């Protein structure tokens, strides 16, 4: 769509025009930026008022989807001719308008732009084109926070879309392969990545087909997980053509064929709740892979909520076909035996373990983002928690610095009714360990072996060491696997 030279020229225009995230935020103000996050343009328009400098016109053109006079657009964009030739800008009379959105994007380590289809603003409900390319969304930004940031050699960005994950991955990965079934997504991802000077191998194809014989240290994906009638699967970015949650199952079950030893898969998606418990269904997906797994269900919707959500996303809420589409979708769920829909996170680790550790939880609680480090730590903790009693007792352990202790009880009482250890990081777990385990945990500063600490606590409590070991080791293993304790 754009040559490398044209992308470089556009980057220069955006940079020189002050069209980067920090500069745009300073120009518009936090309230206007927050408004844009809600898809409301009015605060930003009020902030720009009648100002006609190049930065203001870049904001209007690329962020607010406004038409700008041709002469002012040429002043802001020296690369305008190439953008017109590529169809990213179109002229009507003496006005020019963008056909895509270029949204400033970044974090503490990265300044970039996301190239995607325009975001509908101010409540406008417009059915998206079949090959619509979604920009930065709650799902994609959540996925970015789930990905461990440890340095790895190779990564597969499965279903790259606008390229947002590759932007983040470039900070800690040597080689990126990014795939998508949608040719237009790859064209816009090339612009996103080119503007950020990120090198990625972009490949066209469905799921794992473009990497048939390859393996990776990390696979990340926010696949087209929406469960919808295949005959009505019209939006490539969100819907596949497999029955029910078959696409999610394929992503999970076939990942092991493309993971290096100790490689990790991170998936954000949906799954069906049927008459079979959902935990059993997902265990059936995962167990044959031989991978350790952590599955966290973040939300559950009934079929009515789910259909309404995605019909609105497709811009059909006010359409004449709304009721018909709604009914068709519900009938499809009935035919598939779908009672509810779970939404959440799946992480696999190719551990090569004879008995892989699979943990599946309903976890609607608040978490401390980003949780990528906690997910990576979980897989390391699983191994530590499998140590023999002798090894566990012989090693030195250190409590995580982010754990706080809470006591709850009646005012004036000699002892609290509840003693809670709460994580101020990661998944924000909380547990009531009991007096003995809490005392052992509190003493874990990495200086002495666990056996010595248990003996000392036993002496203080007047409990023999051997029975105390038996009483505490199971709970201490859980504290290790949950990330409360790390080996010193």
Whether a cis peptide bond, with omega within 30° of 0, leads into 20 is no
Question: Are 346 and 393 found together in one domain?
Answer: no
**Cα 252 → chain centroid:** 16
CA distance 440 to 438: 6
Residue 413 has pLDDT above 80, yes or no: no
List 84's β-bridge partners, or say none: none
Q: Which two tokens stand for residue 155?
A: 């990564």
Percent of the chain with pLDDT over 90: 86
Residue 242 belongs to a domain with what CATH number? 3.40.50.150
pLDDT in tens, 296-308: 999 999 999 999 9
CB 53 within 8 A of CB 47: no
Angle, helices 450-461 vs 465-481, to 10°: value is 130
Q: Give whichever of 116-125, 277-286, 378-387 has the largest mean pLDDT.
A: 277-286
Question: Are 358 and 236 found together in one domain?
Answer: yes
**Regarding beta strands 259-273 and 216-221, do their DSSP bridges make them parallel or antiparallel, or are they unpaired?**
parallel
Q: What is the mean pLDDT of residues 439-446?
A: 95
**Cα 463 → chain centroid:** 47
Structural domain includes residue 438: yes
Q: What is the pLDDT of residue 230?
A: 84
Q: Can you give 195-242 as a three-state secondary structure string?
A: HCCCCCEEEECCCCHHHCCCCEEEEEECCCCECCCHHHCCCCCCECCC
Question: Are 229 and 276 found together in one domain?
Answer: yes
| Confidence label for 414 from pLDDT (cuts 50, 70 and 90) | low
CA distance 116 to 101: 5
Q: Which two tokens stand for residue 448?
A: 């002495």
Residue 432 belongs to a domain with what CATH number? 3.90.930
Structural domain includes residue 129: no
Q: What is the mean pLDDT of residues 61-86?
A: 96
Structural domain includes residue 283: yes
Residue 438 has pLDDT above 80, yes or no: yes
Residue 62 has pLDDT above 80, yes or no: yes
CB 272 within 8 A of CB 226: no
pLDDT in tens, 345-372: 999 999 988 889 999 999 999 999 999 9
Q: What is the pLDDT of residue 235?
A: 87
CA distance 377 to 481: 9
List 192's β-bridge partners, or say none: none
Q: Which two tokens stand for residue 24?
A: 């745009």
pLDDT in tens, 107-165: 877 899 999 999 989 877 778 889 999 999 999 999 999 999 999 999 999 999 999 99
Identify the domain containing residue 431 by its residue range: 387-487
Q: What is the mean pLDDT of residues 269-274?
A: 98
Name the domain count of the chain. Answer: 3
Q: What is the pLDDT of residue 417?
A: 80
Question: Are 233 and 333 found together in one domain?
Answer: yes
Q: Which residue has the higher pLDDT, 460 or 305?
A: 305
Question: Are 164 and 293 found together in one domain?
Answer: yes
Q: What is the pLDDT of residue 233?
A: 65
pLDDT in tens, 188-246: 999 999 999 999 999 999 999 999 999 999 999 999 999 999 877 678 899 988 999 99
Question: Are 34 and 175 found together in one domain?
Answer: no
pLDDT in tens, 397-407: 999 999 999 98
Question: Are 213 and 247 found together in one domain?
Answer: yes
Q: What is the mean pLDDT of residues 447-451?
A: 96
Q: What is the pLDDT of residue 407?
A: 87
pTM of this structure = 0.94
Residue 311 has pLDDT above 90, yes or no: yes
Structural domain includes residue 110: no
- Three-class SS state of 105: strand
Give all strands (DSSP E) within 409-467, no chain letters.
Answer: 418-423, 430-431, 445-449
CB 177 within 8 A of CB 203: yes
CA distance 75 to 70: 9
Structural domain includes residue 196: yes
Q: What is the pLDDT of residue 276?
A: 97
CB 291 within 8 A of CB 348: yes
CA distance 397 to 212: 43
Structural domain includes residue 106: no
Question: Are 62 and 202 found together in one domain?
Answer: no
Q: Which helix (H) or strand (E) holds 175?
A: strand 173-180
């Amino acid at each position: 769509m754009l040559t490398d030279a044209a992308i470089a020229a556009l980057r220069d225009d955006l940079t020189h025009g002050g069209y980067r995230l920090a500069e745009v935020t300073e120009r518009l103000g936090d309230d206007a930026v927050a408004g844009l996050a809600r898809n409301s343009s009015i605060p930003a328009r009020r902030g720009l008022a009648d100002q006609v400098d190049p930065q203001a016109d870049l904001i209007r053109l690329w962020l607010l989807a406004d038409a700008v006079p041709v002469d002012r657009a040429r002043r802001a964009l020296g690369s305008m001719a190439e953008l017109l030739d590529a169809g990213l800008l179109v002229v009507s009379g003496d006005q020019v308008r963008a056909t895509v959105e270029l949204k400033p994007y970044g974090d503490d380590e990265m300044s970039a732009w996301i190239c995607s289809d325009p975001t509908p603003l101010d409540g406008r409900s417009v059915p998206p084109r079949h090959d619509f390319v979604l920009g930065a969304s709650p799902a994609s930004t959540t996925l970015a926070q789930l990905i461990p940031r440890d340095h790895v050699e190779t990564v597969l960005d499965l279903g790259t879309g606008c390229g947002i994950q590759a932007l983040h991955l470039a900070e800690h990965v040597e080689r990126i392969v990014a795939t998508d079934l949608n040719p237009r997504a790859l064209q816009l991802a090339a612009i996103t990545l080119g503007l950020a000077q990120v090198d990625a191998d972009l490949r066209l194809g469905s799921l794992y087909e473009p990497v048939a014989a390859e393996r990776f240290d990390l696979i990340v994906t926010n696949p087209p997980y929406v469960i919808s009638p295949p005959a009505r699967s019209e939006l490539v970015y969100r819907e596949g053509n497999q029955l029910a949650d078959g696409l999610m199952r394929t992503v999970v079950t076939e990942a092991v064929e493309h993971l290096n030893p100790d490689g990790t898969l991170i998936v954000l998606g949906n799954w069906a709740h049927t008459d079979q418990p959902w935990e059993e269904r997902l265990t059936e997906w995962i167990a044959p892979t031989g991978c350790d797994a952590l599955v966290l269900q973040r939300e559950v919707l009934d079929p009515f909520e789910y259909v309404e959500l995605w019909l609105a996303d497709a811009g059909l809420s006010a359409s004449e076909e709304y009721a018909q589409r709604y009914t068709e979708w519900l009938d499809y769920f009935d035919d598939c035996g779908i009672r509810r829909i779970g939404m959440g996170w799946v992480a696999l680790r190719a551990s090569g373990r004879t008995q892989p550790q699979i943990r599946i939880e309903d976890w609607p609680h608040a978490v401390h983002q980003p949780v990528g480090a906690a997910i990576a730590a979980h897989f390391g903790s699983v191994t530590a928690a499998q140590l023999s009693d002798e090894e566990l007792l012989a090693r030195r352990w250190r409590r995580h610095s982010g754990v706080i202790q809470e006591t709850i009880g009646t005012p004036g009482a000699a002892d609290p009714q509840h003693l809670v250890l709460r994580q101020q990081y990661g998944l924000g777990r909380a547990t009531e360990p009991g007096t003995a385990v809490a005392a052992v945990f509190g003493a874990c500063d990495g200086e002495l072996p666990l056996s010595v600490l248990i003996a000392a606590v036993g002496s203080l409590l007047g409990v023999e060491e051997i029975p105390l070991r038996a009483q505490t080791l199971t709970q201490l293993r859980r504290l290790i696997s949950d990330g409360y304790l790390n080996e010193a």
